Structure 1
Amino acid sequence: MPANENTRKNRLAFGAEIVTYDDARRAAKRRLPRMIYDFIDGAAGRETAPARNRAGFDAVNLQPRALRNVTERCLKTHLLGQVFDAPFGIAPMGMCGLTYPGADQIMADQCTARNIPLGLSTAASIPLENMRQLAGDNAWFQLYASGSTEQTMSFVERAKQAGYQKLILTVDVPQVSRRVRDHKNGFEVPFRIGPKQFLDFALHPQWSLSMLWHGIPETANYKHPNSGGFDRNSSRAGADWTFLDQLRQVWSGELIIKGVTSTEDARHIQAAGADAIWVSNHGGRQLDSAPSSVTLLPPIRAAVGPNYPVIFDSGVRHGEDVIKALALGADFVMLGRPVMFALGAAGGRGLRAYLDEVTLEISTAMAQIGTCSVPDITPQCLYGDTQISPALTTENIALIPTEHHKTGGHR
């Protein structure tokens, strides 16, 4: 069924409520307890990095073109030996089950039906073996180098035994950042429920009753006897150059390094034998002063050359954002927070509505800029000599209405 027909059905299902990212975010804010919403929406420090991510995208304009036959458009995309039906997928995110019961299976079902990739976090609410059975080759396993090397390598061995073809090593979380909203709300894994949290949950009965019925999700991969247990605040600094060399030796599938923001690091990772890099500032959740990820795409693309696979996330909200990232040098784009909000808003129906909208936006924008296929999305699709400055300062950001400010701040 065409994406626009699916979207119309979703509009009817939600009373014309869940269509865009902003719809999903507002609805999730109503349904989720403040502690859970802030866990998704929050970022590091003063939370200026997400605003820079969006400012970077807003500074990029696309060039409309006329008199081109764009009747037949195709979103199929080749990446690392696979062909996907769209140039985007779902990034690995921990504890997605906090948004909606069975969230991991919902994502697996959607990604399988749409033939797009799904990253499974080490801190997922479902065992990696189960996700592989649900999503097959569309499932990619994401690895944190935490605990001992033996514990980390036990995850690698499990991924090999389960049949994963792609392994993502996240390298931008040497230490979990201080996220002020989480600290104020008392967010911890596993939950510690005091009077403040009890009241928060009581004020959101729909979420609370569903969690009571299905059970609070756990970090399922850490239930394995060799995992060492999950500590959200533990150091993940084991991902150094020596570890990368070791990992490359033991992992024969495609190896993707996620969290790259430096051209020097990108070149070294390429030389170390990784199959792809993933440009990301973790959605602004790690370093408050990190540059906008999208501003880094052109220099990193120049550093690794035209043929080396580059994946991108951070700040992507809409279909046109996907096109901008592709035009600036990415080969593929992954979605993070919007997926969590769509799930938190309405579970599977919310996610389906949002992914339908992104797909439709990409196809429509491709027509406007005169392209019929994803490989046709090049820097020539950008308006003029588009240059986005990596030096978006705090003073600049203070003038930008962030998502948080536009919705009236914290509840």
Structure 2
Amino acid sequence: MFSNTIHSAEDARRIAKRRLPWMVFDYIDGSAGAEKGAARNRAALDNATLSPRILRDVSQRSLSKSVFGKLAQRPFGIAPMGMCNLAAPGADLMLARLAAKYDIPHCVSTVASTPLEEIIEVAEGNAWFQLYFSGSGEGTFKLVERAKAAGYETLILTVDVPEVGRRPRELRHGFKMPFKIGVSQFIDFALHPRWSLSTLSAGKPDMANFKMEGFEFDRTESRAKATWETLDKLRQVWRGNLVVKGVLDVEDALQLKAHGVDAIQVSSHGARQLDSAPSPFKMISHMRTALGPEFPLFYDSGLRSGEDVLKAIEAGADYTFFGRILQFAIAAGGETGLEQLWDVLSDETSIAMAQIGINRLSENPKAPYV
């Protein structure tokens, strides 16, 4: 019999799968199409290796990493994830408190369950705002102004969702936001009373950032009208850090650099959009070669451990982000579960650093030891 203690990301996923309604688990866990894209990226990460080095003094290890001139206490932050409160009531603010504790960026999704103003306050300023261009863009730029007024200094434009990807697991369950309750959903919720009762008592999760006068948001609405001119307009109105997320093509990356963005985030959106997309992990080194050594390059998609983080950094990423495994930890054990998994990821990173012979993440483990 397995315990409910989290010793790995897979533990968190296993416990979450048991506790969450099938519809909610598959919304968090699922990927596009036949889910070959997720498997392909996972295989690429699994096949990458780290080289152990011996007889180096690695007694003074630090997990800190600079990102946009600020020292984060971990080389990984929190990726933008929509509707986190589906994992458990208050999940958004659990993540915000974690960001405040470790001075790491909490990327707040456009479709967060909690208003963007509340999250950055609880995160003590350690929050970035993720933006989707949607419809005509009128609501999009209203959100930009809200983020600016709330004190956000970094904006992440997600560009890999011109149309929402088909995720068969969601479709089979009839997943919609807000929930449409039919017979199958009622049975699903009834068989998971712990989640259902806590969610009912807290009030059903909503897309909190769209409670603006004269603005309606449809999660499935086309985002296909976004163009390079849209990016230029955003660059004009947003003078803070501008990150573009969801980039898997080197030519696109070079054009983004030419258009004045401050960082690029290599990502396949957790393989949730295009099943046939290349492995984002494999694209990191190509992006780094094309963009040069100094241009900020971030990475998310498929990370499951501290060793995965080190693989991404060795491949050329400056900073990384964990996504759905944090939601699984919350579903498995609430804020305690989140803290357990965070400690696991931190320990995995620190131990792996010792194994490959480095004290700082800026060091080259392949360099001769002097």
Q: TM-score normalized by structure 1?
A: 0.87
| CA-atom RMSD in angstroms | 1.2
**Corresponding residue number in structure 2 for 1:396:** none
Percent of residue pairs bearing the same amino acid type: 52
Partner of 2:96: 108
Match of 1:284 in 2: 271
CA distance in structure 2 between the partners assigned to 1:161 and 1:17 by the alignment:
41
C-alpha displacement at 1:16, in angstroms?
5.7
Which residue identity is paired with 2:27? Answer: F
CA distance in 2, matches of 1:252, 1:331: 22
SS in 1 for 2:119: helix
The aligned residue for residue 40 of structure 2 is 52
Rounded to whole Å, the distance in 2 between the matches of 1:238 and 1:331 is: 31
**Aligned residue among 298, 318, 323 for 1:331:** 318
Give the residue type in structure 2 aligned to 1:169.
L
Aligned to 2:57: 69
In 2: Cα distance, 1:311 partner to 1:264 partner: 17
CA contact 2:96–2:120 (8 Å) conserved in 1: no
Question: In the alignment, does 2:279 pair up with 1:310?
Answer: no
Taking the aligned partners of 2:122 and 2:212, their CA distance within structure 1 comes to: 19
Aligned counterparts, 1:209-358, within 5 A = 209-226=197-214, 228-358=215-345
Tell me which amino acid in the other structure corresponds to 2:323.
Answer: G
Aligned to 1:31: 19
Q: Given that residues 123 and 221 in structure 1 are in contact (C-alpha distance below 8 angstroms), is that contact kept between their aligned partners in structure 2?
A: yes
Q: 1:377 deviation in Å?
A: 4.7
The answer to whether the 8 A contact 1:323-1:377 is kept is: no
Task: Give the Cα separation in 2 of the matches to 1:277 and 1:239.
Answer: 17
Q: Quick one: distance in 1 between partners of 2:93 and 2:324?
A: 17
CA distance in 2, matches of 1:342, 1:103: 10
1:85 alignment partner, one of 73, 78, 88: 73
Alpha-carbon distance in 1 for matches of 2:334, 2:341? 11
Question: Does 1:371 find its partner at 2:354?
Answer: no
Distance in 1 between residues matched to 2:55 and 2:4, nearest whole Å: 34
8 Å contact kept, 2:38–2:302: yes
Q: Indicate conservation of the 8 Å contact 1:298/1:328, yes or no.
A: yes
Post-superposition CA distance 1:300-326 (Å, at most 9, x none)? 111110000000011100000000000
One-letter amino acid of the counterpart of residue 343, structure 1: I
1:15-70 Cα shifts (integer Å, max 9, x gaps): 56222101000000000000000001111010111111110111111110011000
Q: What amino acid sits opposite 1:71 in the alignment?
A: S
Distance in 2 between the 1:318 and 1:46 partners?
24
Runs of 4+ in structure 1 deviating by more than 6 angstroms, as ranges, are: none
Residue 273 of structure 1 aligns to a residue whose secondary structure is coil
Comparing 247-256 and 130-139, the one that deviates more = 130-139
Specify the SS of the correspondent of 1:326. Answer: helix
**Aligned AA for 2:186?**
F
Secondary structure of 2:169's counterpart equals: helix
Matched, 1:150 2:157: no
Q: Residue 365 of structure 1: SS of its match in structure 2? A: helix
User: Alpha-carbon deviations, 1:354-386, whole Å to 9, x = none?
Assistant: 1110000000000000000011156x38xxxxx
Check whether the contact 2:63–2:350 (CA below 8 A) recurs between aligned residues: yes
SS at match of 2:125: helix
Distance 1:45 1:16 in 2: 31
Query: Are the aligned partners of 1:326 and 1:377 in contact in 2 as well (CA < 8 Å)?
Result: no
- Runs of 5+ consecutive residues of structure 1 not aligned to the other structure: 1-13, 382-411
Does the CA-based 8 Å contact 2:100-2:125 persist in structure 1?
A: no
Conserved in 1, the CA contact under 8 Å of 2:4 and 2:15? no
SS state of the match for residue 255, structure 1?
Answer: strand
Q: CA deviation at 1:283?
A: 0.9
Aligned length: 366
Deviations along 1:160-185, one digit per CA (max 9) or x if unpaired, are 11110000000000000111011100
Unmatched 5+ stretches in structure 2: none
TM-score, normalization: structure 2? 0.97
What is the match of residue 121 of structure 1?
109
Separation in 2, partners of 1:377, 1:213: 51
Q: Distance in 2 between matches of 1:137 and 1:255?
A: 17
Residue 42 of structure 2 aligns to a residue whose secondary structure is helix
Amino acid at match of 2:136: S
SS at match of 1:372: coil
Q: Are 2:195 and 1:199 aligned?
A: no
Structure 1 position 337, deviation (Å): 1.2
Q: Distance in 1 between matches of 2:239 and 2:275?
A: 35
Distance in 2 between residues matched to 1:98 and 1:24, nearest whole Å? 15
